[in-house]
Amino acid sequence: MLYAQPENLLNAPMVPDKMKSAPTQKNPPLSDKNGAITFDDLLVAVGKTGNRDAFIRLFEYFAPRVKSFLMKSGLTQEMADELAQETMLAVWQKAAQFDPLRAAASTWIFTIARNKRTDYFRKDSKTQTETIESVAPEDDQPLPDLALSLQEEERQLAEAIDALPEEQASMIRKAFLEEKTHADIAAETGLPLGTVKSRIRLALERLRYHMGSPQQEGTA
Amino acid sequence: MTRMNQHTEILLMEYAAGVLDDASALLVRTYISISPEARRYVRHCEAMGGQLMERSCTPVAMAGDSLKNVLQQLDRLEQATCQTMSRTHCADIRFCRQYNLPEPLLAYLYEHHRTGRWHPFARGMATCTLTSCKDTNGMAMIRMAPGARAVRHTHRGTEITLVLEGGYEDEYGRYEAGDLVIADAGITHQPIAGPKGCLSINVIEAPLHFTGHLYKLLNLFAR
């Protein structure tokens, strides 16, 4: 199915959804609750109807961030650009698996970028990395009232990350963004491995409050 | 089932950050497929990763033709017929069905055409190598008959064990199906299988070092 001529879309100015008047017939209107469209909504639109406008907007926001993320682990501009394109292609292909009740768009796109990076660096290219959705598709059905709090959880998590002492935050950034193991971080910073581990542990401890209460966990 | 401890949390965080070696990552994937608590923790760590990517990575402009290029590929994707993954390649389907193996492990066995051949290495014990990368950590499945006693041994590196069926106990505790055990380097222990026997997958960071005598043959197990 073809939705629109890419060239036309490229030339069309991108406008916020609220201002958008008539979406093309083949691109059904994006859901517009309370006038605010989130990246989650855009990703759902891509997954459900293959909405290209939504995809382009996701691309314009996330691709440059994914590229930046990939460059932090030492990829060249060109390679990072290529992998970011691959990441966004995978976003398109897997969008139907995205469930906004379980993860935010940024989380989901991060996992895909991370997996692309792993596949790029790994020698054994046959091994496939997966998102949690493909590991455990049917289970963990979230309760509706919990879903409301996901965005709130994300917001609190962001605040908690900002509030971390720099010595802890820098460890977390090195691990997540620069693809460094604890041993790598110890070697790079000259800190003892035990110190690196305890700082990361402290940071995780501070951030885990934003996971929701233990009662919300599935039964083990 | 034992609760997750700090070591487990750090392992899960490293998985979410994408810094684990292949064997450990496969073990963690298997673990999160059977443990809702671990899954939840990994999701939380991935949300951290998403936040960091969104907020700490200064956007770098994509090359001018990137979007056009991707959109052109979407056209091609839409025209291509859907290909479903076929699992007829598994060399030994019986092996895969013999145990109720979690999905990520099955997928790995299928993809890598592993035959799942068991090598007995001690009374009541057999191992089956799952990964064969020489320069990264290795992974093996270990089967113990009910009540089988392993040789007392120590570890030069970390050993991660995920119990899939049955259970075992050692000097440090008793572990059942679904438990993840991280044994630090230097720990000496003697696992003994429970009454139902034990099936586990193990990632071994460095060769095991047997403290008993005349157990050189057991390096088969440690390789």
What whole-number distance in Å separates Cα of residue B46 and Cα of residue A102? 12
Asked if residue B99 has pLDDT above 80, the reply is no
pLDDT in tens, B165-187: 999 999 999 999 999 999 888 88
Residue A132 pLDDT level (bands cut at 50, 70, 90): low
Chain B within 8 Å of A178 (Cβ-Cβ)? no
A209 touches chain B (CB under 8 A): no
A198 Rama class: left (phi>0) / alpha (psi -120 to 50) / beta:
alpha
A/B interface, count of CB pairs below 8 Å? 209
- What class, spelled out in words, does domain A143-211 have in CATH? mainly alpha
Check CB contact under 8 Å for A108 and B50. yes
Contact B80/A at CB under 8 A: no
Could you report the predicted ipTM of this complex, rounded to two decimals? 0.74
| Chain B residues whose beta carbon lies within 8 Å of the beta carbon of residue A108 | 50
DSSP designation for B113: T
What are B28-42's pLDDT values in tens digits? 999 999 998 899 889
Whether residues A63 and B133 touch (CB distance < 8 A) is answered with no
Average pLDDT for residues A201-216, to the nearest whole number?
67
Domain residue spans of chain B: 116-222
Q: How far is B121 from chain A (nearest CA, A)?
A: 28
Residue spans of the domains in chain A: they are 1-142, 143-211
With contact defined as beta carbons under 8 Å apart, do A70 and B52 qualify? no
What's the CA dihedral at B62, B67, B68, B71 to 10 degrees?
150
For CA atoms A156, A158, A162, A165, the dihedral sign is positive
**Listed range (A17-31, A151-165, B64-78) with the worst mean pLDDT:** A17-31
Give the residue-averaged pLDDT of A158-170: 91
Tell me if A6 and B40 make a contact (CB, 8 A cut-off): no
Model confidence pLDDT, tens digit, residues A90-104: 999 899 889 888 889
Decide if B176 touches A, using CB distance below 8 A. Answer: no
A132: chain B residues, CB-CB within 8 Å: 32, 39, 42-43, 46
Q: Are B111 and B29 in contact (CB under 8 A)?
A: no
Statement: residue B44 has pLDDT above 60: yes
Q: Which CATH architecture has domain B116-222?
A: Sandwich (2.60)
Q: In chain B, count of helices (H) and strands (E)?
A: 7, 10
Residue B48 to residue A220, Cβ atoms within 8 A? no
Measuring CA to CA, how many Å separate A36 from each of A42, A77, A151, B107, B200?
11, 34, 13, 40, 49
Which phi and psi angles does B2 have, rounded to 5°? Answer: -75, 150
Closest in A89, A124, A135 to B29, CB measured: A135
Q: A69, B57: Cβ pair inside 8 Å? A: yes
Residue A54 to residue A60: CA distance in whole angstroms: 10
As a whole number, the mean pLDDT across chain B is 80
Tell me the pairing of strands B138-144 and B125-129. Answer: antiparallel
pLDDT single digits (tens) A72-84:
988 999 999 999 9
Q: Beta B119-122 vs B125-129: how paired, if at all?
A: antiparallel
Residues 106-135 on B with a CB inside 8 Å of A are 107-108, 111-112, 133
Q: How far apart are CA B140 and CA B221, in angstroms?
A: 9
Contact B194, B214 (CB under 8 A): no
Residue A174 at interface with chain B, using a CB cutoff of 8 Å = no
Residue range A175-202: mean pLDDT, rounded: 90
Q: What is the DSSP string of B49-117?
A: HHHHHHHHS---PPPTTHHHHHHHHHHHHHHSPP-PPP-TT-S-HHHHHHTT--HHHHHHHHHTT----
Query: In this structure, which amino acid lies at residue B7?
Result: H
A66 vs B contacts (CB less than 8 Å): 53
Tens-place pLDDT, residues B102-116: 888 887 877 776 666
The C-alpha of A6 sits at a distance from chain B's nearest C-alpha, in angstroms, of 6
The position carrying tokens 């930046």 is A68
When pLDDT is averaged across residues A158-180 and rounded to a whole number, the result is 91
d(CA A132, CA B112): 21
Q: Which residues contact A219 (CB under 8 A, 6 or more apart)?
A: B36
> Does A135 contact B at CB distance below 8 Å?
yes
B48 within 8 A of A161, measured Cβ to Cβ:
yes
* A57 close contact with B: CB closer than 8 A: no
Q: Left, alpha or beta for A3 (phi > 0: left; psi -120 to 50: alpha)?
A: alpha
Under CATH, which architecture does the A1-142 domain have?
A: Orthogonal Bundle (1.10)
A176 touches chain B (CB under 8 A): yes
| Among B10, B66, B107, beta carbon nearest to A81 | B66
| Any A CB within 8 A of B185 CB | no
Q: Does B32 touch chain A (CB under 8 A)?
A: yes
- Residue B119 has a pLDDT of 85
> In angstroms, rounded to a whole number, what is the distance separating the alpha carbons of residues A4 and A23?
11
